[in-house]
Amino acid sequence: MNTNVEQYWNGRKVLVTGAEGFIGSTLVDLLVARGAEVRALVHYKPYAERGYLARYLTGGEVEMTAGDVRDAGRVLDAVEGCETVFHLAALIGIPYSYQAPEAYVQTNVVGTQNVAAACLRHGARLVHTSTSEVYGTAITAPISEQHPLQPQSPYSASKIGADMMALSYHHSFDLPVSVVRPFNTYGPRQSARAVIPAILAQLHAGATEIRLGSLTPTRDFTYVGDTAEGFLAVGASDRTLGEAVNLGTGSEVSIGDLAHALIAASGREARVVVDPARLRPSGSEVERLLSDNSRARELADWKPRVELAEGLERTSAWVAAHLDAFAPDRYQV
């Protein structure tokens, strides 16, 4: 743990967009624990559901504001008075991006432009969230931030556009911008559209046959607590301004081997089969993601701490305790 990072956030006014999500809510918890004054921009819902931020509704530790990053005026209001903006709001499901690519452009690209413009107007620093999917299948590995960007899905294309929009505000207007590029974050609170909770939900529901897409792609899985700590480290370091910074472990595992590790972590017995409905379109599957995290270590003094086996056990316990929130028999895009 970097003590300077812990102290840095004490008393700072911070906005988190996408704050009710998987990584966003974990980041909010860390910021509150570090003493930050947190404002959460959550997606407007007429029934006022706040997901994993519900526990803050009565305590006052987090200021809630509802809106949509596609609404420039609402974003401008949300950023006012904040020193740093962690921008996590995005459409993230890859399969759904094949069905609704325009929605991804509007939320991810236009939404990011709205956030950057609001930060420029109010003098706030922007920490923008990217994804390892922007690299596509590795040409060289481990993947450094200089690796070519390859839009192998509408989702990855929209995130490449969002990254470039954020960085353009740094180069054109001197906006202090850092781009955080997580590799396959997992852990408690992740939805069933992701591979790890999807497998665990099937196992804890008693399935003896685990249905997956391609088993050969490899991924670099990072525990959500480590990823959130990386956001704070990058946001506290001026050396990351104008830079994209990978957050990954520097190790990889195939989806097939991951499934067997999850079977072991759950204590269940099952066999793994390929489900054609879960396969990506030809040419869209990213076959290998393996991070080079040396820039995060050098510029932000960050490194992952939770080993995969430990993280999978924690996640398995969480899914088992929240199984009623999952639909194990349905493929969620």
Report the catalytic residues: 155
Residue 244 CB coordination number (10 Å):
22
What angle (nearest 5°) sits at the alpha carbon of residue 192, between those of residues 189 and 193?
A: 115
For residue 6, give the nearest of 228, 306, 238, 240 by alpha carbon. 228
DSSP at 38 = E
Give the three-class secondary structure for 123: coil
Among candidates 22, 24, 58, which has minimal Cα distance to 40?
Answer: 24
Please report the DSSP string for 160-206 in residue order: HHHHHHHHHHHHHH---EEEEEE-SEESTT--TTSHHHHHHHHHHTT
**Cα separations in angstroms, 266 against 132, 202, 204, 206:** 27, 10, 7, 11
